[in-house]
Structure 1
Amino acid sequence: MATFARPTFSAKAYAAFRPAYPPSLFRTILSYHQVPTPGGTLLDLGCGHGPIARYLKPHFKSVIAIDPSAGMIAQARQTTTDPEITFRQGGAEDLDFLAEGSVDMAVSGQAAHWFDYTQAWPSLARVVRPGGTVAFWGYKDNVLVGAEQATRIMGQFVYGFGEVAPGVEGMGPYWEQPGRGILRDLLRGVQPPEADWTDVTRREHEPGEEGPEETRWLRKKMKLGEVEGYVQTFSAFNGWKEAHPQAKSRASGGEGDILDVMWDRMVDAVPEWKAMGERWREAEVVSDWGTYILTARRR
């Protein structure tokens, strides 16, 4: 998560282009938690710019939301008006500021792959009350449905090592590990300790496969320009830019960076997109992400 915590990372762009969580996801999580009326305290781990805290607040008396990134916390505070939502900088591994058994539910959206579980599980076991719950969820690599060749090209540029085009190094070396690998494995290696947690459930979806809405909860129609903006928020792309300061994007007056080259090839691979010329960003596509939901209840 070091990239998101850097002063150069744009929390505003992240908030603008990252996909929103659908109501179906929150219904699944709240159904598991079995909260009958608003009450208790929600802890949002890796809260980012605050969308989960704001969405779930009506179901809880108070929300405490933490994130390691000062920029994310600043963005969250700027866009949140509810005085019962408290934002503070911090990580899942250090919850000493919370009283024992003071949390009714702890959640984490698209952040749990960064946790050091040797510290996070003991911290959560201390602060989550008996009968309280945790819910972690996230999404990995998306596919562009019906545009398989373009999707393969995107994967080559995003995860490739060495040259992925003449003179262009892939983004593969710039993913922060082991976090990205844990996410791409849909958090299967993360096991809530049996001594503290029970009723463990997992819901998984591999990108491009069929399945119920409960597991395939992040699938949406997008314009290619929105997909372009989303890819620009990748931590690996930000790392790539820092390693290649001479490669300026066409939008900033340069000759092109890795994403410019990637999109050239992706557009060339789909005749309908290529026929649109400079208007290719207006083309619509269905984007389907791989997803997981991990839930557990405190003994």
Structure 2
Amino acid sequence: MTTFAKAGFNAVSYATFRPSYPAQVFKTVLSYHRGPSNLLLDLGCGHGLISRELSPSFKAVLGTDPSASMIKQAKASSTSEAYKNVEFREASAEDLSFVGDGELDMVVAGQAAHWFDYSKVWPEIGRKMRKGGTLAFWGYKDNVFVEYPGATKVLDEYCYGPNTMGPFWEMPGRQILRDKLRAVVPPAGEWEDVRRIEYEPGTSGKGSGTGELLMQRRLKLGEYPEKKARKDGGEGDIVDEMFDKMLEVEPEWKAAGDKWRDFEVENEWGSVILMARKK
């Protein structure tokens, strides 16, 4: 998680461009939870969205993140009286020494679990979680243009190709996420009732994938973030180059001419929710 922990990381921009979690995600994990709801721990809380969403369901919520800028943004976004039971602190998932043994009722992590060192995280959570407590980790991978397989193929090539952005991803974390957290396996000796809810998008239209669809959104092509905008007079960067290739393979997009950025497309994200209960 080194990128997010860097002092120069822009937490505000990060919060703006992340797709939001649908209500169904929170409903699913809360329905799975049983027993007391005194203390929830949100690992890798980022700007605090999950901590705030789940705060009405717990007496107290603690959000942690190794990034100082993320914690600053989380605090700034949680000043409302509605979040008076939410606390944020800079900390890693591998060190929960500030939590008492057996105090946790639930531990969640949204779009963060692929970064954890599980040789340390499993023992830590195991000590801090009460018997019957709940674990819920979830995440999503790259968006798919569900009605445009050509553009989806170009997107994948530019994101992971050896001559484009592929070498710049932090591994093995990114691959763990792309594999929908299948490498994250709760130790059988300490956890039971393990459940996985997965979705893999298709390219034959909305809902054409396999599994339970959780994350979808209709966006204009111009809403995808750019590092350097050709439209603002720049020479263009790899993102501009990628969209040029997409326009070549998707005649419908190209037919929009200079207004291609206003073209709306359906997106779905491959996703996973992993849940388990402490023995």
Q: TM-score, normalised by structure 2?
A: 0.92
Corresponding position of 2:122: 121
Corresponding position of 1:55: 53
Matched, 1:223 2:199: no
Q: Is the 8 A contact 1:43 1:107 kept in 2?
A: yes
Q: Is the 8 A contact 1:141 1:207 kept in 2?
A: no
Q: Is the 8 A contact 1:249 1:256 kept in 2?
A: yes
**Deviation digits for residues 69-118 of structure 1 (CA, Å, limit 9, x no counterpart):** 11111111111122211111111100001001111100000100000000
CA distance in 2, matches of 1:283, 1:35: 48
Corresponding position of 1:235: none
Alignment of 1:197-236 (within 5 A): 197-208=191-202, 209-211=208-210, 215-226=212-223, 228-229=224-225
CA distance in 2, matches of 1:210, 1:276: 28
Corresponding position of 1:29: 29
**Deviation digits for residues 229-284 of structure 1 (CA, Å, limit 9, x no counterpart):** 2xx5xxxxxxxx8xxxxxx5425643111111111221232222222233222211
Q: How many residues align?
A: 271
Corresponding position of 1:193: 187
Question: In percent, how many aligned pairs have the same letter?
Answer: 53
Corresponding position of 2:111: 110
CA distance in 1, matches of 2:86, 2:259: 42
Any stretches of 5+ residues in structure 2 without a counterpart?
Answer: 203-207
Q: Is the 8 A contact 2:94 2:117 kept in 1?
A: yes
Q: Is the 8 A contact 2:34 2:132 kept in 1?
A: no
CA distance in 2, matches of 1:18, 1:42: 23
CA distance in 1, matches of 2:231, 2:255: 21
2:8 maps to a residue whose letter is T
Matched, 1:268 2:268: no
CA distance in 1, matches of 2:91, 2:231: 35
Give how far 1:207 is off. 2.1
2:159 maps to a residue whose letter is V
SS of residue matched to 2:78: coil
Give how far 1:31 is off. 0.8
Quickly say closer, same or farther: Cα 1:98–1:251, change in 2 above 3 A: farther
Matched, 1:78 2:76: yes
SS of residue matched to 1:25: helix
1:8 maps to a residue whose letter is G
Corresponding position of 1:237: none
2:102 maps to a residue whose letter is G
Comparing 260-269 and 177-186, the one that deviates more: 260-269
Q: Is the 8 A contact 1:101 1:126 kept in 2?
A: yes
Matched, 1:12 2:12: yes
Matched, 1:42 2:40: yes
Comparing 78-87 and 41-50, the one that deviates more: 78-87
Corresponding position of 1:293: 273
Q: Is the 8 A contact 2:201 2:210 kept in 1?
A: no
SS of residue matched to 1:286: strand
CA RMSD between the two structures: 1.7
